[in-house]
Structure formats: structure tokens, C-alpha cells
Amino acid sequence: MSIAGKTNSSRLHADLLAWYDRNRRTFPWRAPAGSRPDPYRVWLSEIMLQQTATAAAGPYFERFVAHFPDVFALAAAEQDEVLRLWAGLGYYARARNLHACAQRLVAEFGGRFPQTQAALRSLPGIGTYTAAALAAIAFDRPAAPVDGNWERVLARLFDLHEPLPQAKPGLRALGEGLVPPRRAGDFAQAMMDLGATVCTPARPRCLLCPLQAHCRARAAGTADGLPRKAPRKEKPQSYGAAFYALSHAGHLLLRRRPQQGLLGGMMELPGTPWRAEPWQEAEALAFAPGPAAWEKLPGQVSHVFTHFRLSLVLWRAADLDRQAGWTGAAAASWVSLARVGGEALPSVMIKAIRHAQRTDGHAVP
Ligand code: SF4
């Protein structure tokens, strides 16, 4: 499917790029107009923005580049420090892959990013989308980083009614067919900005749109309902119990999760595995990290992961003696409450600790 031949594509490119030159958004990771982007900052921002809104990612990005100003600094860091700076962004495999990717770049590429999509895809954590974004934005290569904004604009431009996610390959092919031979990086960012500010999910602002003359959905009056989406499946529910163990000197027992799998390498309260059935009290207490007068706290902590919802029941014991009988707490250590805020804690565990502290009177710094 072509939008209407070469002439109109050229017109579309010119219309969109002229709009971008006047309306481009400013982000801490975006190079000023006319200057060459730093591939390190482009890469970092694209990884952060995969699951995080631009407004939320900004402060994390600033903090991250202040600590790790280039790929060499990131490669040389301890993984724990990387995870700590990532804590709160979620999807921690991204942070581990980021670190591994920096180390590969230093070891095998002299600290420079390769420029082709194929070579970029061979690096940890860089898939089809990120390779295209880097190729286009950092190196101005003709590539189509088709994200949600691109998908919405493309579905409307071509009046495509196939629902997502089945429509994704077709939309990507349409996007690839639309990339201009020059200014591919600006075009990529223009599509993102247009989708975020004009061709919005609800009530697209077609009267302000530089593409209105090219847009089939606008002509057909179907833009509001596009892109169509297949009904979402309900996320399955999981259950767990966690133990908030506080020593009399104000130390909290934390343990490190295994490197592989969900929240790999992050810190957590000791607890049960997470499973599809709720835990009976006696079953849960068999996972307590040591002998104590465990008190079950009222309420629960709810957290939504990509593929499931978690409901966590908390047990609390305080005034504990750190020396006695805590051998069951594998890979665990006592962390002073004053230092807990500096640990690589995922959001679900920050919620759990705060929930326990509402009954405790100690606050995590
Ligand atoms: Fe989106 Fe409207 Fe522009 Fe079409 S004319 S691309 S529907 S904002």
C-alpha cells in the first residue's frame, strides 16, 4: 500500500519536516536543532522510554548521565549502582542489559556504537525498535522506529482498520516505506512528536495537522476510532507474602533476588514465592526468614507487572536481635533504615516497606 506515489510522499515529508522545525519538543536527551546527537544519550533515552512516559523519564535520565556521562563510565560501574539509579523505573532487565551492552561496546567496539540496524540488534537489550531508533536518530540512517505514536499516525494516514497487535507488522512495513532519504532522524522524531501532540489517541487535532491533506482517515471521518485494538486480556492474579524484619538497632532484613528472571539482582524483603493461589498463614510462615513473633499486618500491597497483578500480604516483627537465629535468610543482609533508600529496591518493595512502616513509625529516607 502506498500513500499516493512518490510526489505525494515528497510533499508529505516536506510538510511534516517543516512542522517539526517549528514545533519540535525539547527533551534533555534530544540534541538542539542542527547539532549532532550523542548516540549514548539517544540509546539511553530510548531504553528508558520503552516502558516509561517522557515526563517521568526526564529526572532519571538527568541523574543517570550525571553519574555515567559516557559509555565508558557506565561499563566500569558496579551493576548494583546501575540498578540503584534505575530503581523506580521498573522493567529492570533493561538496566541489566544496558550495563551489559555498555561493557560489550567497550570490549568489542572501542566504546562506539555500530551504525547499522543489524549490528545494533546484536547488542544486549537492543531489539528491532531500538536499533531503528538509534540508526535514524543518532546516525540519520533511513530507518523507521515504529512506536505507539507512529502506529497511531500510520493507521490514520492509511485508514488501516486491522486491530492491534495483529496490525503491527503491516504498520511497520508502511512506516518503512514512508521514511525519507534525507533527515530520517528528524522524520522519526517528527512522527513521534506529531503522535504525542496532534494526532493524539482521543480527539486528534486534525485542523492543526501538517498531514491533513495526506490523511485517508480524516477524509473518511474514521480517525477517532483508529487504530483499532483487540480486547485486552485480563492479567492473571498472583499472591505472595513478605516479611518486614526490623532489628532493635533499626536495621531491616533485605535479600537480593537471583540475577536471572523478574527483578533480577534487585533487593527485596524476604518472602514466599509468588503463585496463583493465596497463601494460608501457616504456609506463608514456613518462609519466614527467622524466629520471631510475626504479626500479620492489615491490608495488602497491590502491584501491577506487565503480565500479572501481585497481591502481597506483609508480616512484621520488630526489636529483633541480629545475631540470633537468622540463618534461614539466604543471601540476606541487615541494612540500616537510614541506608535503605539507597538500595536497589523495585517499586513493589518500596510500596511494601512503606505499608509496613505505616504501623511502625520509621520512615525510609
Ligand atoms: Fe492524525 Fe488528523 Fe493528522 Fe490524520 S489529519 S494524521 S488523523 S491528526
- pLDDT score for 342: 78
Q: Which set of grid coordinates corresponds to residue 185?
A: 532522524
Determine the atom of ligand 1 nearest the C-alpha atom of 212: 5
Residue whose C-alpha cell reads 537492543 in the numeric block: 126
Task: Classify strands 295-296 and 309-320 as parallel, antiparallel or unpaired.
Answer: antiparallel
Residue 148 alpha carbon to ligand 1 centre in Å: 15
Please list the alpha-helical segments (H only) found in the chain. Answer: 5-23, 39-48, 54-67, 71-76, 79-86, 93-109, 117-121, 128-133, 139, 148-157, 168-178, 184-197, 216-220, 281-285, 337-340, 347-357
Domains of the chain: 9-225 (1.10.340.30), 237-357 (3.90.79.10)
- pLDDT score for 43: 97
Q: Model-level pTM greater than 0.85?
A: no
**pLDDT by 10s per residue, the chain, length 365:** 445 444 478 999 999 999 999 999 999 999 988 889 999 999 999 999 987 888 888 999 999 999 999 999 999 999 989 998 988 887 788 899 999 999 999 999 999 999 999 999 999 999 999 999 999 999 999 999 999 999 999 999 999 999 999 999 999 999 999 999 999 999 999 999 999 999 999 999 999 999 999 999 999 999 999 999 998 889 999 999 999 999 888 899 999 898 888 998 889 999 999 999 999 999 999 999 888 899 999 999 999 998 999 999 999 998 888 766 665 556 688 889 888 887 889 999 999 999 998 876 554 44
| Nearest Cα residue to 309 out of 279, 355, 276, 342 | 276
What length is written for the chain?
365
Burial 302-326 (b: 16+ CB within 10 A, else e): ebebeeeebebbbbbbbebeeeeeb
Q: Which set of grid coordinates corresponds to residue 119?
A: 549490528
- pLDDT score for 4: 45
Q: Which residues have a catalytic role annotated?
A: 46
The residue type found at 117 is Q
Residue 160 alpha carbon to ligand 1 centre in Å: 13
Instruction: Count the helix, strand and coil residues of the chain and give each as a percent rounded to the nearest 5.
Output: 45, 15, 45
Residue in 152, 158, 199 to alter for ligand 1 test, most ligand atoms within 8 A of Cβ: 199
